[in-house]
Amino acid sequence: MHQHNQSTPARLTATATVKLPRLVLFALALVYIVAGLFGRDPWKTDDVVGLAAMLSALDAGGQAWLLPHVGPMALSQDGPMVMWMGAGLIHLLGHWLGDITASRIGNLLWFAMTMWAMWYGTYLLGRRAEAQPLALPFGGEPTIKDYGRMLADAAVLLLLATVGILVRMHETSIVPAIIAWQALAFYALARMLDKPVLGSTVLGIALAGAFLTRAWPGTVPILLAVPIVFVPRSALWSARRWVLWALLLAMTLVLAWWEPARRADPAWMQAWANWNESFFGLPDYEVALRPLRDLPWFLWPIWPLALLSVWQWRHWITAPHIWIPLAFVLGVLLTLPVMTEHSEPDYILLTLPLAVLAAFALPTMRRGVINTLDWFALMCFSVTIVCVWLGWFALHFEIPKQISINIGRQTVGFEPHISWWAVIVAVLVTLGWVAMVLWRVRYHPSMLWRGAVLCAAGITATWALLVLLWMPAVDYVRSYRPMSAQVRHVLTELSEQGGKPACLREQGLSLGPRASLYVFDKIVFSYDSSCPFVLQQTTLKQLQDGTAGYSDGAKVLWLGSRGADRFDRYRLLQVQTK
């Protein structure tokens, strides 16, 4: 089955597994997820579309609860899960917290589920005999429990340290939910090693959850991981018959939504089936190569450690602590080449299993290599923190000059104002990072999680500073609220002339602005061709060339754009109708 346990590549002493204080872990995770989640507008595209679907379900009721919509427009993609969670929270808490804040409590719940499932799954794998470090001749190796806990802590910290997921975990989109269901599937497979009934039941729930969150593009990578995990040489081979129960449970749960949805609106389901189908096929050359460009930064800093882990444990490759996370990685890598289009929601499924693999690299690494990781984290995040402060100075005091000019170009029309409480908190966060640096430099701690904690603390501190010092400027650049208010104002004036509210059609309007107008001002679009008012999305270049639609014979009632957008322009036109 596995090679004898005498010479696993893991070598460490009990001092290396000294417990990471729970308070540190919880505080880091809490700062990570809460910073940037509240006190801002929903941003363009995924963030605001998610919120629009939640509000549409509450406003329209009935089948909008089954089938996501943005106002009257069918949003036939992904699945209803995130909408259910968000709309339910707005219904329960919106009265006290406001709709936008209430919807984001969902992110806290998805995040908590991800952290819990990932921690326990890794803990279960880390306690197994195949994962244990080499017994030392005079004792002094860590206890099984301490070792498992150290690995689980490290895996969670390394996930927090992953660059690509940072902004996405703070959006009201499918991303925080799909990673949570994947984490649950990972936990389920780890649990099946000792409790196949419980594990397979949880696996069924996780598969159904993934499907109801992101339909086939989110479920196929997880589904592909399952048969890989149950290969004949693996430790789970004996529990294979329970997979059938998991699949039956998943199908039953999915059908509980599918059947009523199909009856309620066959056209929506057909469009949804087309969306799913359009995802799979052979990508063109450029799309096929895109992961080579995007993944190295998106998965930084976990991918080098995960590669090292697979190499170091290569003689134990079928041991569950390597094989289970590796199966999830392979599931995604087998899916990407047959996707016609891929982006961050697809890449995100690589982060969790790679972080788990990266954690198992730590006990195999020589001290020199671990020190390099520490120093890299110290240098890298000290630089990013300095950069955030530099940008803040440039924005408010116009020094350094060149940076100030560059920022000015991105934030045309923005009026900076200093919020002193935010600056004070930002100074405290910076001092916290300085304390971490001094702790590492002065005390030379021997705990194995120190590099992971430095990476996670560094990225969290950088993010917290961005939120504290930059949020008003970023909000200005990424929110459609002011533009929506202008459109609403013009429509109100038009409606007063005739008595009843002016209708509005759209031309070329993409999903982000359409959802924003609905979220901020409940503006919905008519499909009636006799309506004389049209909101058109075009570009500055098309307006200059005269190639924008309706250019002749239409009266321009309003022209505007979102914040400092340098390309898109929006026009409210009055056109002649037949």
* Residue pLDDT, tens place only, 509-521: 999 999 999 999 9
* Residue 218: predicted pLDDT: 95
Does residue 158 have a pLDDT over 70? yes
* Residue-wise pLDDT tens digits, 194-222: 999 999 999 999 999 999 999 999 999 99
Cα–Cα distances in Å, from 229 out to 56, 216, 257, 396? 40, 20, 29, 55
572 three-class SS: strand
* Residue 496: predicted pLDDT: 65
- The contacts of residue 176 (CB under 8 Å, 6+ apart) are 106, 107, 110, 111, 114, 168, 169
Tell the burial category of 395 from Cβ atoms under 10 Å away from its Cβ (0-12, 13-18, 19+).
Answer: buried
Q: Grade residue 16 by pLDDT with cuts at 50, 70 and 90.
A: confident
Q: Grade residue 303 by pLDDT with cuts at 50, 70 and 90.
A: very high
Does residue 569 have a pLDDT over 70? yes
Domain ranges of the chain: 42-365, 368-478, 481-574
Structure tokens at 325: 């996370």
Tell the burial category of 555 from Cβ atoms under 10 Å away from its Cβ (0-12, 13-18, 19+).
Answer: exposed
- Cα–Cα dist 430/224, whole Å: 44
220-242 average pLDDT score: 94
- The contacts of residue 511 (CB under 8 Å, 6+ apart) are 45, 49, 70
Tell the burial category of 100 from Cβ atoms under 10 Å away from its Cβ (0-12, 13-18, 19+).
Answer: buried
570 three-class SS: strand
Q: Are 403 and 386 in contact (CB under 8 A)?
A: no
295-306 average pLDDT score: 95
DSSP string for residues in 496-535: HHHSSPPP-EEES--HHHHHHHHHHH-------TT--EEE
Does residue 5 have a pLDDT over 50? no
What percentage of the chain has pLDDT greater than the value 90? 74
* Residue 369: predicted pLDDT: 85
Helices 22-34 & 144-160, crossing angle to 10 degrees?
20
Does residue 528 have a pLDDT over 90? no
* Residue 2: predicted pLDDT: 44
Structure tokens at 125: 């794998």
Does residue 400 have a pLDDT over 90? no
Does residue 3 have a pLDDT over 60? no
Residue 352: half-sphere exposure toward Cβ, Cα within 13 Å: 36
Instruction: Identify the sign of the CA torsion 307, 312, 313, 314.
Output: positive
Summary mean pLDDT of the chain: 92
- Cα–Cα dist 139/88, whole Å: 54
State the DSSP H helix or E strand holding residue 556, giving kind and residue range, or none if neither: strand 555-560
β-bridge pairing 568-574 and 555-560: antiparallel
Does residue 226 have a pLDDT over 70? yes
* Residue 13: predicted pLDDT: 84
341 three-class SS: coil
Buried b (16+ CB within 10 A) or exposed e, 166-194: bebbbbbbbbbbbbbbbbbbbbbbbbbbe
* Residue 455: predicted pLDDT: 95
* Residue-wise pLDDT tens digits, 491-503: 888 886 656 678 8
Structure tokens at 269: 């389901």
- Cα–Cα dist 49/82, whole Å: 11
